[in-house]
Structure 1
Amino acid sequence: MRQRYDGIKLLESNDMVFGHYVEESMKYIDSFDSSKEFNDVNEVIEAYNVHQLLSHKHLKVEFVTEYASKIKVLMPIVAKFFKSISDDNFIKICDEVAIGYVDEFWILFDKFKVYEQISEEKFAEYINNPHTTLHYILKQKRIVEHYDDVLADCLRNSDQTAEIIIHNHMEKQGNRNKCYLPNSLMPSEYEGILRKYVHSIHPGLGSLRVIEMFQSTSECPVSDKLRLEARKRQKEMLKDGSVTVFNSHMGVGVSFRDVAELVTVENTPEGHLFIYDRQWLKQNLDYPTLLNNFIYMFGFVDMEFRSVFPSISSKLGVFERVMGVKGIKEYQTGSSFTFYYMKTSADMHGYIEELERNNIRFEDIIKWFFEDYLVEEFNIKGFSFATSSKDSSYLEMCRNLASEMDGVLKQYRLYAENGEIDRELLEMSSRPVEFELLPSLRTEKYGYVNSDDIRQEMFYLFSDQCLLSYVERIGEKYECLHDLLLNEELRLSDYTRQDELYQINWLIQRNTLCVEDGLLKLNPSRAFILKDLYEHEVICLDYYPSYMKSLLSEMKSVGDICITNTFLSVPESDYLNYVLNKSQYSNGMDLRNRYIHSTYSANEEIHKRDYIELMKIMVLIVIKINEELCKK
């Protein structure tokens, strides 16, 4: 077992304890003893970390300059030690590296080309020890290239290899560095390695799920047979109790009752219960109001007509972002997504049943929208929607709805491109519907983040992982800098650490903050735009007041935001691809393809659930088309 060493770590500037290690590095170099002999590999790595921290690009120039001469003594010490490593002491030194310094050891091993001093035999002896953590070594390209055959032989037999392949080719990388695999290990060998892992004693349940969901590529070919074996292995593990699974169940219920308010919410032992006024609904059964209920009562979209269905990265908790094994093409969800998914599904299900009690079939409302409302309100002819028969099974209803959804979107595309729906041209078209390419009727509809600077501003202002929200005299009262500035009087002198001062001054240079009468203030317009982008990943330009338009134009001209004219926003088209097919996401629900290509389940309850999800998307399409035409 590796020893521990309580030394200075090398971290990125956005890490919560970056400033602490900068301060520790200052103390280290200020009291540095130049006569000290460095024989401990961990002391040498710590000296390297101090050098890197005190020359970090995110520290103020004056601050870096102040320590530039002091830290010059450190790198010769590091170089001398690593140049002294040979076959005689290599394994002993490797074993002495502390658990928190393994990554830096191999970075320095690569940096000083120590691999030129270590024979293949000695390197093979070390890496074939089952306790050697291979992925740290595989992060260094030149080491992998130098020991190509040796590493390939090791990986063919190591229990770590399958997880490395999964991490490299199947998982979302996030902030984790990708490994380099030796060229001698061929992609055609991966399946055998992965199969051995699937049938091993303790495979990871998350890794099995990623294998099952993975779409085969030339870089990592995976057969359908192996994917099926991974699925069955998961079921075996769950059935025999060899793995414990903790499910976070978020109960959401919907009820229609005679109550005083249009919408009330009760917290019950089972979860959140949303109660809608039945009498109000009975008094307002006209079709326009019944559709508007999805906006104003159920909240399927916000006041800028952005759907609440998609998963938004800012709504993921810190553990949801980093924990677990995630496929490289997986649609990432969290508790916020799950809540809205369950609530909107319960709303849709309950609403359809409540309308049936009032002798209204919901598909008739959709048909009315396309075939009557669009003609009467906008003089647009040519849209059609064929309802399923009243005695249809849920399987038949799903098949029909999946097909009609495609048809409606193709009709809309024709109208957007040509100003009319030519039925003969529609019948000639075999182009598939690509949700992300459907055009808007407006030239500038959506705005998105387009620069790393904007992303950094949003992190500093809104992330609960940024330490700028903490100042000593106020304490840990606020989750982010934005909330701190809105509620407290803050001065530049409240920040004493150099890295934090750099970040605050950078925000001032970006005109996100300013100093007025000695107090730090937000630029309200810029902060509003950034908050909107952070919380929704997209902004809708038509809903911004005129006094903000010049700022938006300026942000566009300098490349901070980009403007598009698509029917759906990126989060919305991503969501539709997740629910309806598997073209973009390996864990897609594939509802459209399942029913169009007859690969559906034999379970009628599943068909009923799928019908609700398909109808939710149909309602969203109705809302988005109506908004386009109203704005036009």
Structure 2
Amino acid sequence: MSEDDEAVRRVRFYGTNDLATGWYVPRVAEIADQFDPKKVPTRTDDILELHNVQQYLEHGFLPNAYNEEKRDQAKAQIPRIRSAVARFFTAIDDTNFATVVSGVRRDYHGDLLDLLSRHGAFERCESETVLPALAAAGLRLAELLASKKLVRAYNAQMRDELRASPQSAEHLIRKYLQEDVRREIHLPPSFTPADARELLEAYIDSEYANPNYIRLIASAKENPSAGIDAKLKLRAKRRNDEISANIFAEKEGFRTGCEVGVSTTQYEPVVFGMDDSSEGLVSRYTYSSRWLEETLDSPSILNNFQHLFEFADSQALLTLPSYPANLGVMEQIMGTTGKTEYKVGAASRTIDWSTLLSMASSFCPWAAS
């Protein structure tokens, strides 16, 4: 097997429910069977792979063909592997830190930081050694902020790293505003709300600001600890409007919307149509003025709200809220969702437009056509 093939097959534990688990099991069994506490590997990637093998063994992920004896033999390696990994990481200091972390695979970065933290490397090593070495090894600021002990050990230096670029504001946005963030984000104790405010302002004004993140700031609740107040929200809203205007100045986009009218000649209470021309997709509702004029008693008005304007379904449940079931598949998985965001999809927007315009058109005499 070539080195490239072996690198692809390196064991990685993604969790008990991950589909990759079964694919890695044969190599887990192979490594566990061959492990010798007297001949512990010296390469960091090998040690990190042993750490992942240990997690497979702890959860009992072994070949189905193994009998009870073979399973017991494999699990007996758990304390030996754990001890070997611990000895490797407790031996790290300023003199060998850069060598140890150099060239570690990207998918092992999380394990590397976890084990360095767990075995006190950040308490033993100076920031002047650790942070440049981790940067040279390809670890990004987002990965460093996921390590609570690293952030606290190098408090002042991590504050400086955050304040060095407006793009760092995205870490604040993910921590305070974005829903379903994969990594936990820790901020240095010395990082103040004033720092956060300054960083967010610089990000809003920057050329490379992400429109999705600008929108999250504009729609966020005020949060003093995150540096978000009414003035910042207004600044973000104006910037969001500017970005949108620039986008649609170059591209016309796709026309969507809703048209509502009242007809003096229409017999049916309501006629619905869909304009799906090449320019866009527009819903059209036309109501009969005769029907509306003849149904002015209270029970009939209530009936119209339910069956004509469709404010409620057959079970008398409101159709106006944005229900998760009304979101399309792409609407559910795409985009950047805020923690307190009221997520609205195309279907809910159409309902909102149609009900609002229906109310306006039905009770304005000048709307009849």
Given the two structures, how large is their TM-score scaled by the length of structure 1?
0.47
What is the match of residue 467 of structure 1? none
8 Å CA contact 2:261, 2:367 repeated in 1: no
Q: 1:68: how far off?
A: 6.6
Q: Which of 105, 108, 111 is the matching residue for 1:101?
A: 108
Structure 1 residues 86 and 188 mapped into 2: Cα distance closer, same or farther (>3 Å)? Answer: same
Partner SS, residue 225 of structure 2: coil
Partner SS, residue 271 of structure 1: strand
Q: 1:282: how far off?
A: 5.6
Q: Which of 326, 334, 337 is the matching residue for 2:348?
A: 337
What is the match of residue 74 of structure 2? 70
What is the match of residue 268 of structure 1? 276
What is the match of residue 24 of structure 1? 23
CA distance in 2, matches of 1:264, 1:104: 58
Q: Which amino acid aligns with 1:41?
A: T
Task: Report 1:413-492 matches (<5 A).
Answer: none
Structure 1 residues 172 and 8 mapped into 2: Cα distance closer, same or farther (>3 Å)? Answer: same
Structure 1 residues 53 and 172 mapped into 2: Cα distance closer, same or farther (>3 Å)? Answer: farther
Task: Report 1:128-277 matches (<5 A).
Answer: 132-169=139-176, 171-239=177-245, 250-254=256-260, 258=266, 264-266=272-274, 268-269=276-277, 270-271=280-281, 273=283, 275=285
Partner SS, residue 219 of structure 1: helix
Q: Which amino acid aligns with 1:85?
A: I
CA distance in 1, matches of 2:226, 2:276: 48
Partner SS, residue 10 of structure 1: coil
Q: 1:95: how far off?
A: 4.4
Partner SS, residue 339 of structure 1: helix
Q: 1:70: how far off?
A: 1.8
Structure 1 residues 322 and 267 mapped into 2: Cα distance closer, same or farther (>3 Å)? Answer: same
Unaligned runs of 5+ in 2: none
CA distance in 1, matches of 2:220, 2:256: 28
8 Å CA contact 1:106, 1:140 repeated in 2: yes
Q: 1:256: how far off?
A: 5.4
8 Å CA contact 1:8, 1:24 repeated in 2: no
Structure 1 residues 89 and 248 mapped into 2: Cα distance closer, same or farther (>3 Å)? Answer: farther
CA distance in 2, matches of 1:41, 1:276: 71
8 Å CA contact 2:166, 2:200 repeated in 1: no
Q: 1:28: how far off?
A: 2.0
CA distance in 2, matches of 1:50, 1:244: 53
CA distance in 1, matches of 2:72, 2:316: 53
Higher relative contact order (CA 8 A, sep 6+): 1
1:476-506 deviation per Cα after TM superposition (whole angstroms, max 9, x unaligned): xxxxxxxxxxxxxxxxxxxxxxxxxxxxxxx
CA distance in 1, matches of 2:284, 2:249: 35
Q: 1:345: how far off?
A: 3.1
What is the match of residue 318 of structure 2? 307
CA distance in 1, matches of 2:179, 2:42: 36
CA distance in 1, matches of 2:52, 2:231: 47
CA distance in 2, matches of 1:242, 1:259: 41
Q: 1:181: how far off?
A: 0.9
Structure 1 residues 247 and 281 mapped into 2: Cα distance closer, same or farther (>3 Å)? Answer: same
CA distance in 2, matches of 1:227, 1:261: 44
Q: Which of 99, 117, 123 is the matching residue for 2:130?
A: 123
CA distance in 2, matches of 1:236, 1:40: 52
Structure 1 residues 271 and 13 mapped into 2: Cα distance closer, same or farther (>3 Å)? Answer: farther
Structure 1 residues 162 and 310 mapped into 2: Cα distance closer, same or farther (>3 Å)? Answer: same
CA distance in 2, matches of 1:322, 1:69: 44
1:10 aligns with 2:18: no
Partner SS, residue 226 of structure 2: coil
Structure 1 residues 284 and 240 mapped into 2: Cα distance closer, same or farther (>3 Å)? Answer: closer
1:34 aligns with 2:35: yes
Q: 1:283: how far off?
A: 5.0
CA distance in 2, matches of 1:25, 1:313: 36
What is the match of residue 92 of structure 2? 85
Q: Which amino acid aligns with 2:342?
A: Y
Q: 1:300: how far off?
A: 1.6
Structure 1 residues 129 and 11 mapped into 2: Cα distance closer, same or farther (>3 Å)? Answer: closer
8 Å CA contact 1:55, 1:68 repeated in 2: no
8 Å CA contact 2:309, 2:358 repeated in 1: yes
Partner SS, residue 25 of structure 1: helix
8 Å CA contact 1:259, 1:277 repeated in 2: no
Partner SS, residue 97 of structure 1: coil
1:356-413 deviation per Cα after TM superposition (whole angstroms, max 9, x unaligned): 649xxxxxxxxxxxxxxxxxxxxxxxxxxxxxxxxxxxxxxxxxxxxxxxxxxxxxxx
8 Å CA contact 1:255, 1:273 repeated in 2: no
Structure 1 residues 24 and 352 mapped into 2: Cα distance closer, same or farther (>3 Å)? Answer: same
Q: 1:324: how far off?
A: 3.5
Q: 1:241: how far off?
A: 5.6
Number of aligned residue pairs: 347
Task: Report 1:347-426 matches (<5 A).
Answer: 347-353=358-364, 357=368
Q: 1:224: how far off?
A: 4.1
Partner SS, residue 190 of structure 2: coil
8 Å CA contact 1:316, 1:336 repeated in 2: yes
CA distance in 2, matches of 1:242, 1:82: 54
Q: 1:219: how far off?
A: 1.4
8 Å CA contact 2:117, 2:149 repeated in 1: yes
CA distance in 2, matches of 1:194, 1:354: 49
CA distance in 1, matches of 2:354, 2:61: 44
What is the match of residue 49 of structure 1? 52
Given the two structures, how large is their TM-score scaled by the length of structure 2?
0.75
8 Å CA contact 1:5, 1:42 repeated in 2: no
Structure 1 residues 199 and 300 mapped into 2: Cα distance closer, same or farther (>3 Å)? Answer: same
Structure 1 residues 218 and 229 mapped into 2: Cα distance closer, same or farther (>3 Å)? Answer: closer
